[in-house]
Amino acid sequence: MSVLPDVDAAAAVADLLRGRRWVALTGAGMSTDSGIPDYRGPTSVRATPMQFQEFVGSEEARRRYWARSYLGFRRIGEAAPNAGHLALVELEDAGLQGVLTQNVDGLHAAAGSREVIDLHGRIADVVCLDCGHVSSRPELQQRLAALNPHLDEPPVLERAGPSTGGRRPQAPPVHAEMRPDGDAVVEDWSGFVLAGCAGCGGRLKPDVVFFGESVPRPRVEQAYALVDRAEVLVVLGSSLTVMSGLRFVRHQTKAGRPTVVVNRGTTRGDDLATLKLERGCSETLTGLVSRLCWR
């Protein structure tokens, strides 16, 4: 692996990609410039992720998850593609074959990327675990808002002590802190009312891959096919901690093809990378546009 000085980074990657077909594999660091925190970098929020078996087997776990996700989605739903997402669209004219993303925010499609494989699904979709019906997340948000109107109430004022000379706001009933999967850290979910499937009344789950759950095999095969159509794999903003991303780097190395890793911090794929750039995704990709795309 070659770790390049910042001044040479974009030029070296451009030289590697010029005239070649390539695929991007993106992680949470791709969306930090859109205001969505990552898992392990400086913007990350530390919280124990929901496990699939826990979610399926416990109504209390589902109540906790949906209380957090209801509040978190209101922010992730407002996120817009950043300069890096938009640069990838332009780079389709410079050999980019498609995007594999570990993110669930849907920002690649919103930016206009033509071929996107959402490895972990999309937070904007909801699936019923009992009948399999897939529905819209914004529609569910409206239902949850109607069932939990107290979450949208303004803070209640309580009388302050004599030294304050007035009144002060109470803490809101639920405190939420954003996470990269559209979830939030919530301190109190005990009063949250769940919504069932509009069709059968069954258990609802965001149509995303939880921890302890596998990426559907047809989706994995589609992703491998995309990687094999290209010559270079470019990892953007992923620490490659989970196998859903690392497997493609290992596959690329086994096939004798080059891999570029762009990430602030160490990744599990560093030892396999042809080039490693300690840079942000947006600045790297906009630099590639200026070097590879005719304007």
* Residue ranges in the chain assigned as alpha helix (H): 6-17, 52-57, 59-76, 83-90, 107-111, 137-147, 217-229, 243-254, 281-292
Please name the residue that has the structure tokens 């095969």: 221
Strand order in the sheet with 96-101: 2-3, 275-277, 259-262, 232-236, 22-26, 96-101, 116-118
Measure the CA–CA gap between 248 and 270, rounded to whole angstroms.
Answer: 13
Measure the CA–CA gap between 49 and 206, rounded to whole angstroms.
Answer: 14
85 is catalytic: no
Residue 131 annotated in ligand binding: yes
Which one of the listed residues 85, 108, 120, 150 is annotated catalytic?
120
Measure the CA–CA gap between 87 and 261, rounded to whole angstroms.
Answer: 17
CB under 8 Å to 6, separation ≥6 — which residues?
A: 278, 279
Please name the residue that has the structure tokens 């529905």: 135
Residue 293 annotated in ligand binding: no
Residue 197 annotated in ligand binding: yes
Cβ 29 vs Cβ 103: under 8 Å: no
Q: Residue 289: helix, strand or coil by DSSP?
A: helix
Q: Residues forming the annotated binding site for Zn(2+)?
A: 128, 131, 197, 200
Residues annotated as catalytic (active site), given as ranges: 120
Q: Residues forming the annotated binding site?
A: 128, 131, 197, 200
